[in-house]
Amino acid sequence: MTAKISLGLVGARGHVGAELIRLVAAHPRFELAFVSSRERDGQRLADHEPSYAGDLRYTNLDAEAAAGQGADALVLALPNAMAAPFVAQVDARAPATVVVDLSADYRFDDGWHYGLPELTRADAAGKRRISNPGCYATAMQVAIAPMHDVLAGPVQCFGVSGYSGAGTSPSDKNDPDKLRDNLMPYSLTGHVHEREVTRRLGLPVEFMPHVAAHFRGITLTANLHLSRPFDLDEVRGRYYAAYGAEPLVEVTGDTPWVSRIAGRHHAEVGGFTLAADGRRLVVVSTLDNLLKGAATQALQNLNLAFGLPETMGIPA
């Protein structure tokens, strides 16, 4: 089948929206039906996104109007706590529409599919309400999941993100002048991604996020206490067994660097280091917060929802 699948995007002005537009513009099956942005209402999409060659213009659609467009899929790239009116209208007016929400609004809702394909694709078939995981939450779960059954206590995760993760609304966390020569800690307990990973993995995770002066990319260092001694070969074997066949997770013997992941569509995990007694493991994972942490993962979920190859349209 080569019929086009129409897709609407609400929240198109942000960094993630821009990345998703580029991916969809090059996708062999998806086509943009509309892109909604209050600030750019009426402006030509091609003037802002050179990868798009059509005549589409930004519109400013409220929830009812967005649901009434007849798109096969709707992606919500909105700040937290803004998705509900759009979901309610889709439920009422076009319940067959596939909805992918990029915010945290439905990550704790058992009625929604949590779309981290490497860990949840077995449950993806037929799901029409999909919650995209958080960027940090993806990096944490990639780092922790292969050792899930042998953990002896809470996992400590130290994360550093580029400032694109703070969005486009001006704040200290995306101000290059304030970030220059700086590392800015924030939300050191109770971060939404800490709660997200704790819920998904069913074990306590303690997360300490920071923002750095680079634009994109996450590095996540996880400290795992183990229930028995391990050697490095067994540790590596677990990660290769989990991800060796995954197209968008690369296991590396070296410690991943965030500078090598910017603009790439996969996650990397490695740097495996054991304490002398073999009962403490440190793992490093990296990913681009705008891609595998958001837009690329959303496209994986859309492909799965429509029965397409999971990596269709995702550059190698």
pLDDT tens digit sequence for 218-268: 999 999 999 999 999 999 999 999 999 999 999 999 999 999 999 999 999
Tens of pLDDT along 71-81?
999 999 999 99
Tens of pLDDT along 271-308?
999 999 999 999 999 999 999 999 999 999 999 999 99
Is residue 256 helix, strand or coil? Answer: coil
Residues in contact with 296: Cβ distance below 8 Å, sequence separation at least 6, in sequence order? 19, 23, 248, 265, 288, 314
Assess contact for 201 and 144: CB atoms under 8 A.
yes
Q: Please, what is the average pLDDT of the chain?
A: 96
- Give 305: exposed, middle or buried? Use CB within 10 Å, 0-12, 13-18, 19+: buried
Residue 135 falls in the annotated catalytic set? yes
- pLDDT-derived band at 171 (thresholds 50, 70, 90) equals confident
Q: What is the mean pLDDT of residues 56-65?
A: 97
- pLDDT-derived band at 1 (thresholds 50, 70, 90) equals low
In angstroms, the CA 206 to CA 193 distance is: 10
DSSP for 89-105 reads: HHHHH-TTSEEEE-SST
The predicted structure's pLDDT at residue 207: 98
In angstroms, the CA 274 to CA 282 distance is: 6
Q: What is the mean pLDDT of residues 113-129?
A: 97
The yes-or-no verdict on residue 198 having pLDDT over 80 is yes
Strand order from edge to edge, sheet including 218-225: 184-185, 205-211, 155-161, 218-225, 280-287, 267-274, 249-252
- pLDDT-derived band at 166 (thresholds 50, 70, 90) equals confident
The predicted structure's pLDDT at residue 2: 81
- pLDDT-derived band at 316 (thresholds 50, 70, 90) equals confident
The yes-or-no verdict on residue 168 having pLDDT over 80 is no
The predicted structure's pLDDT at residue 307: 96
Q: Is the pTM of this model over 0.75?
A: yes
> How many of the other CB atoms lie within 10 Å of CB of 9?
28
The predicted structure's pLDDT at residue 165: 84
Instruction: Say which of 18, 135, 144, 224 is annotated catalytic.
Output: 135
The yes-or-no verdict on residue 172 having pLDDT over 80 is yes
Q: Give the end-to-end CA distance of the chain in Å, rounded to a whole number.
A: 23
Give 214's Cβ-side CA count (13 Å radius): 17
The predicted structure's pLDDT at residue 186: 96
- Per 3-state DSSP, the chain is made up of helix, strand and coil in percentages (nearest 5) of 35, 25, 45
In angstroms, the CA 253 to CA 192 distance is: 30
The predicted structure's pLDDT at residue 188: 97
The yes-or-no verdict on residue 106 having pLDDT over 80 is yes
Structure tokens at 34: 């509309």
